[in-house]
């Protein structure tokens, strides 16, 4: 098994068969079922973890390779330390993070394959919630499914909830992001874009002759500093005429 990775700003180009398949699958799940899925979202994730225990999502070792902000956390906290860590459960679209975390006290927020599980109409609530606890000048680190990821093309007819939004057999939902959609969501909430790019991986299994194109979107968005950098029209104090 080999895995190659490249980054870029362009959306993955579909083959004609893939394009036809997506165009064919236009029927949406009924409103009644969609409302049920929204109501039962937490229950469906709880059942997912019950079934999969810790086998499904492996340790995210790549996070320290991809996000330098996390390196010092790992170095300073080689093992879990209850004096430095606080664990709590919350629905990021409903509960106020300020009930658990002081305002503007956090150096890094990680949204790793979390936002895709939230209904697109409610994603802005997650970003607003994170904004309140993030220190000015600090970032949200994001990685999640990108448009035309292999997982998006595998959904059978009858799984589509909306544009780029699908439901799995177990009732958990997944959105597939474009860079534009994500940037708009963050910028409209008050963040500044630092990085926002697709990660393309091809997982090749030579033995079985399979090549699986994975697409992720990996991004950093910053809460603006309290003292914004001078604009280019401001006089440069270092310039001597
Ligand atoms: C695909 S899993 C990713 C889990 C983990 N971040 C990882 O990378 O292994 C999606 C996670 O989002 C969580 N989630 C979905 N909706 C949420 C919400 N409204 N508030 C908080 N967490 C939510 C689910 O409970 C689930 O743990």
Atom of ligand 1 nearest to the CA of 114: 12
Average pLDDT, the chain: 89
Task: Please give the Cα distance from 162 to 31 (Å, whole number).
Answer: 11
Residue 225: which residues within 8 A CB-CB, separation 6 or more? 136, 137
Strand order in the sheet with 106-112: 2-8, 192-205, 210-222, 134-145, 106-112
- In the chain, the domains with their CATH numbers are 2-49+90-222 (3.40.50)
- pLDDT band of 195, cuts 50, 70, 90: very high
What would the mean pLDDT of 63-72 be, rounded to a whole number?
84
Count other Cβ atoms within 10 Å, centred on residue 224: 12
Nearest CA to ligand 1 atom 9: 57
pLDDT of residue 238: 45
Nearest CA to ligand 1 atom 24: 45
Ligand 1 pocket, mutate which of 101, 114, 145, 216 (most atoms under 8 A from CB): 114
Nearest CA to ligand 1 atom 10: 114
Nearest CA to ligand 1 atom 1: 113
Ligand 1 center from residue 114 Cα (angstroms): 4
Ligand 1 pocket, mutate which of 117, 143, 165 (most atoms under 8 A from CB): 117
Ligand 1: residues with CB < 6 A are: 41, 45, 57, 60, 91-93, 112-114, 117-118
Ligand 1 pocket, mutate which of 41, 45, 67 (most atoms under 8 A from CB): 45
What would the mean pLDDT of 184-204 be, rounded to a whole number?
95
Q: How far is CA 88 from CA 102, 103, 108, 181, in A?
A: 14, 16, 17, 29
Atom of ligand 1 nearest to the CA of 122: 19
pLDDT tens-digit series, residues 15-66: 999 999 999 999 999 999 999 999 999 999 999 988 887 666 667 788 888 8
Nearest CA to ligand 1 atom 12: 114
What would the mean pLDDT of 62-88 be, rounded to a whole number?
76
pLDDT tens-digit series, residues 107-144: 999 999 999 999 999 999 999 999 999 999 999 999 99
Task: Please give the Cα distance from 169 to 175 (Å, whole number).
Answer: 15
Alpha helices in the chain (DSSP H): 16-24, 31-39, 41-52, 62-66, 71-76, 123-133, 150-153, 179-189
pLDDT of residue 64: 85
pLDDT of residue 239: 42
Ligand 1 center from residue 117 Cα (angstroms): 6
């Amino acid at each position: 098994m080999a895995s190659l990775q490249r980054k870029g700003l362009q959306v993955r180009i579909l083959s004609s068969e893939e394009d036809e398949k997506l165009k064919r699958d236009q029927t949406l799940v009924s409103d009644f079922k969609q409302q049920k899925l929204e109501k039962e979202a937490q229950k469906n994730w709880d059942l997912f973890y019950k079934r999969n225990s810790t086998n499904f999502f492996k340790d995210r070792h790549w996070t320290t390779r991809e996000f330098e902000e996390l390196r010092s956390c790992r170095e300073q906290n080689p093992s879990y330390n209850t004096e430095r860590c606080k664990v709590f459960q919350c629905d990021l679209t409903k509960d106020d993070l300020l009930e658990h975390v002081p305002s503007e006290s956090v150096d890094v927020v990680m949204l790793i394959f979390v936002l895709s599980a939230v209904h697109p109409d409610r994603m802005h609530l997650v970003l607003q919630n994170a904004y309140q606890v993030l220190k000015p000048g600090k970032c949200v680190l994001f990685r999640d499914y990108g448009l035309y990821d292999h997982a998006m093309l595998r959904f059978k007819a009858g799984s589509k909830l909306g544009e780029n939004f699908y439901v799995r057999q177990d009732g958990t939902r997944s959105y597939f992001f474009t860079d534009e959609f994500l940037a708009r969501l963050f910028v409209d909430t008050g963040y500044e874009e630092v990085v926002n790019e697709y990660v393309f991986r091809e997982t090749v299994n030579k033995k079985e002759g399979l090549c699986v194109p994975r697409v992720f979107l990996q991004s950093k968005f910053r809460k603006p500093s309290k003292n914004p950098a001078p604009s280019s029209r401001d006089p440069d104090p270092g310039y001597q005429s």
